[in-house]
């Protein structure tokens, strides 16, 4: 029987696959959470670090002194550390994985978007930009994102995280129902 590239094993063959079984990925993230708690006592999170990037960005215009005088950034000081490295290496991991599996591409307009809103690049970019503003503002109000609340918080059975998880899902379902209404497409 001919051996297909999808079914070879070993680390490099595994990394060359386009995707893994979602349950296996879930187990992987769960085990990574054990290590995060046990080894460094720091749950996985992402949105707080992005707010620090916001601080660095603001400091280009007003200087770091005025940034750290802000009520929010005085408590979440933009400083290079554990979370910065975690974020940057998350990007490196995704880059490595997408390059090895041949899925790296400069995507401008994804298929499902295009089927409902057309192939226009500007419309997609403006929506992504606005969505980015809204998602991070929401994450800051709630105190976390899909990583910090959605996985790290829910797995500790935190009330705030389960309430966040349910609110986020309900709101996402309504938003998707309102914004994807083209019934003539299969996508």
Partner 1 sequence: MNLPVSTSSPAGLLLAGLFGLIFGILLHKGRVTDYNVIVNLFRFRDFTVLKIMLTAILVGGIGVALMMSGGLLEGWHIKEMNVLGVVLGGVLFGIGMVLYGYCPGTGVAAIATGSVHAMVGGLGMIVGGVIYALTFAWAKGSILSVGALGKLRLADVTGIPDLVWWIILVPASLLVFRFLNRRERAAG
From residue 85, alpha-carbon distances to 28, 89, 152 in Å are: 20, 6, 18
Give the one residue of 6, 8, 77, 112 binding partner 1; rule: CB under 8 A.
112
For residues 21 to 60, the per-residue mask of contacts with partner 1, x marking binding by CB under 8 A and - elsewhere, is -xx-xxxxxxxxxxxxxxxxxxxx-xx--xx-xxx-xx--
Find the shortest distance in angstroms from Cβ 9 to partner 1.
Answer: 14
Residue 152's contacts (CB-CB under 8 Å, 6 or more residues apart) are 33, 36, 43, 44, 45, 144, 161
Residue from 72, 77, 120, 182 touching partner 1 (CB under 8 A): that is 72
The residue with tokens 């999808």 is 6
Q: How many other CB atoms are there within 10 angstroms of residue 54's CB atom?
A: 17
Count of residues near partner 1 by CB under 8 A:
125
As a whole number of angstroms, the distance between CA 24 and CA 28 comes to 6
Of residues 73 through 92, those in contact with partner 1 by CB under 8 A are 73, 81-83, 85-92
139 CB-near residues (< 8 Å, 6+ apart): 47, 145
Q: At closest approach, how far in Å is the CB of 32 from partner 1? A: 6
> Closer to partner 1 at the Cβ: 2 or 11?
11
For the bound state, the minimum distance from the C-beta of residue 8 to partner 1, rounded and expressed in Å, comes to: 15
Q: What is the dihedral of CA 168, 174, 178, 184, to 10 degrees?
A: 100
147 to 186, contacts with partner 1 by CB under 8 A? 147-177, 179-180
Helix (H) / strand (E) element for 45: namely none
Among 77, 119, 120, 129, contact with partner 1 (rule: CB under 8 A): 129
Pick from 19, 63, 77, 119 the residue near partner 1 by CB under 8 A: 19
Q: What is the largest CA-CA distance in the chain?
A: 67
Query: Residue 3 Cβ, how far from partner 1 at the closest point, in Å?
Result: 21
Residue 8 engages partner 1 in binding (rule: CB under 8 A): no
Q: What count of residues does the chain have?
A: 187
Q: Is 125 in the site for partner 1 (CB under 8 A)?
A: yes
Which is nearer to partner 1, 8 or 40 (by Cβ)?
40
């Amino acid at each position: 029987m001919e051996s297909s590239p999808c079914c070879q094993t070993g680390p490099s063959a595994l990394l060359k696959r386009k995707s893994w079984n979602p349950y296996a990925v879930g187990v992987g993230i769960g085990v990574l959470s054990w290590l995060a708690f046990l080894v460094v006592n720091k749950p996985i999170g992402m949105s707080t670090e992005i707010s620090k990037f916001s601080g660095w960005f603001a400091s280009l215009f007003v200087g770091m002194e005025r940034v750290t005088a802000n009520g929010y950034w005085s408590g979440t000081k933009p400083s290079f550390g554990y979370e910065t490295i975690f974020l940057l290496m998350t990007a490196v991991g995704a880059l490595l994985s997408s390059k090895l599996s041949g899925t790296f591409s400069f995507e401008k307009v994804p298929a499902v978007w295009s089927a409902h809103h057309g192939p226009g690049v500007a419309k997609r970019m403006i929506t992504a930009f606005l969505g980015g503003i809204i998602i991070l503002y929401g994450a800051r109000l709630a105190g976390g994102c899909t990583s910090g609340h959605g996985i790290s918080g829910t797995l500790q059975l935190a009330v705030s995280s389960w309430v966040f998880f349910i609110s986020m899902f309900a709101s996402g379902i309504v938003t998707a129902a309102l914004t994807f209404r083209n019934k003539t497409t299969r996508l």
